[in-house]
């Protein structure tokens, strides 16, 4: 692993454990066993590191909703994979979720990243639900409330880690499964009879 990538990985770990406010570039350099000068060769500041982390995070999460569900048999494995990947990424970059409001207020670049990511996922979500209607998993009228469904889904998925931490629970695989099931509940009322069978089968795989 290159030094720049090691700096990012170390910073993510320290930020997740202690928060961005408590961690300085000196802490990151010390944890890595390198000089501050070596770190500054790759990054000008702590904020520069956070921006790079945000870029990596956006690229990873942006690809999550780019899946196609062409048949009913795709539903269970692909949809479970989608939600699982989202929550796993959230687990890896948890400080960005826990400090999201504060960080985006401090840096317009991070706010732009969030806005662009939100728009990208919104587009992917529209395509996903349209595919679910085509393969008769969801009712056609669901297309009339896609934005509402996305908002409800987004609130649960984006802030699930905040809820978990505030409840003083460890954000582990058990909590991720709870988050996935709760996220699934948003689309449950919109399922067709065929969709309900596929949905129940999917829940059994969690």
Q: Give the model's pLDDT for residue 68.
A: 67
Q: Per the structure block, which two tokens stand in for 150? A: 């996305």
Instruction: Kindly state the average pLDDT of the residues 47-72.
Output: 86
**Which residues on neighbouring strands pair with residue 41, listed in sequence order?**
none
Tens of pLDDT, residue by residue over 77-103, are 788 888 889 999 999 999 999 999 999
Q: What's the CATH class of domain 3-44?
A: mainly alpha
> What is the Cα 133 distance to its own chain's centre?
24
Q: Please state the domain extents for the chain.
A: 3-44, 54-203
Q: Give the model's pLDDT for residue 113.
A: 92
Report the predicted TM-score, pTM, of the whole model to 2 decimal places. 0.88
Q: Is a pLDDT exceeding 90 seen at residue 76? A: no
Q: Do domains 3-44 and 54-203 have the same CATH topology?
A: no
- Please name the residues in contact with 151: beta carbons below 8 A apart, sequence gap of 6 or more: none
Q: Give the model's pLDDT for residue 28.
A: 97
CATH of domain 54-203: 1.10.357.10
| Percent of the chain at pLDDT exceeding 70 | 98
Q: Is a pLDDT exceeding 80 seen at residue 164? A: yes
């Amino acid at each position: 692993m290159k030094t720049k990538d090691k700096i990012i990985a170390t910073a993510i770990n320290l930020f997740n454990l202690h928060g961005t406010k408590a961690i300085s570039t000196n802490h990151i350099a010390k944890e890595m066993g390198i000089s501050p000068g070596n770190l500054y060769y790759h990054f000008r500041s702590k904020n520069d590191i956070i921006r790079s982390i945000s870029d990596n995070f956006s690229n990873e999460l942006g690809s999550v909703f780019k899946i196609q569900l062409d048949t009913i048999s795709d539903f269970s494995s692909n949809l479970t994979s989608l939600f699982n990947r989202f929550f796993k990424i959230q687990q890896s970059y948890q400080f960005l979720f826990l400090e999201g409001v504060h960080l985006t207020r401090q840096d317009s670049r991070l706010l732009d990243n969030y806005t662009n990511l939100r728009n990208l996922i919104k587009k992917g979500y529209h395509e996903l639900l349209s595919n679910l209607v085509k393969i008769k998993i969801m009712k056609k009228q669901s297309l009339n409330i896609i934005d509402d469904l996305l908002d409800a889904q987004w609130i649960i998925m984006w802030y699930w880690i905040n809820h978990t931490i505030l409840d003083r629970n460890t954000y582990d695989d058990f909590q991720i499964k709870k988050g996935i099931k709760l996220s699934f509940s948003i689309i449950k009322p919109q399922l067709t009879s065929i969709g309900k069978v596929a949905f129940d089968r999917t829940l059994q795989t969690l």
